Amino acid sequence: MKSKVSVIIGGIFAAYLIFVALVVLVYEPTPDDMSWEDRQAYNQQKLMELTLGQELKDVKSILGKADFTEAKSVQNANLQVLFYRTHHEKSDGVTTKDECTPLLFKDNKLIAWGQDTYEQYLHTTDSKLPVNDGKANK
């Protein structure tokens, strides 16, 4: 009787170990599930992989939910800026725009990102519409 119980317990334990190993090997958290430190490092890495002209939905699927977002319509074009946390400024428990990298989209296509991008977005008027000139503001 003791040998059957030992075999059953051993089988359950082996199945548990296999399950844990599969979870560890297969599971990858989404950016939204990461701690802020991990997400910040992830965002820094993934920003280097972006290309001009990428679709908004593709960028969101890579980087997850933005920390901040703004949008406006200019000359029949839709502009949207998404902010993703990429650098730690101060330990106050709050993410601010100055700790984020802005990504600028025109009609759902990535046209710029980096330090000067938000200023470009803010100063865009009907007479001055940003274009995708093939250069990223990294």
Global pTM value:
0.70
Measuring CA to CA, which residue among 67, 62, 58 is closest to residue 105? 58
User: What is the spatial distance between Cα 137 and Cα 46, in angstroms, rounded to a whole number?
Assistant: 15
Measuring CA to CA, which residue among 52, 74, 80, 50 is closest to residue 63? 50
For residues 27 and 86, which has the higher predicted lDDT (pLDDT)? 86
Give the chain's mean pLDDT: 84
For residue 19, the SS3 value is helix
Choices 3.30.1450.10, 3.20.20.140, 1.10.150.130, 1.10.3720.10: CATH for 31-122: 3.30.1450.10
> 98-127, pLDDT tens digit by residue?
899 999 999 999 999 988 888 888 888 765
Q: Do 85 and 99 touch, CB atoms closer than 8 A?
A: yes
Is the pLDDT reported for residue 89 higher than 80? no
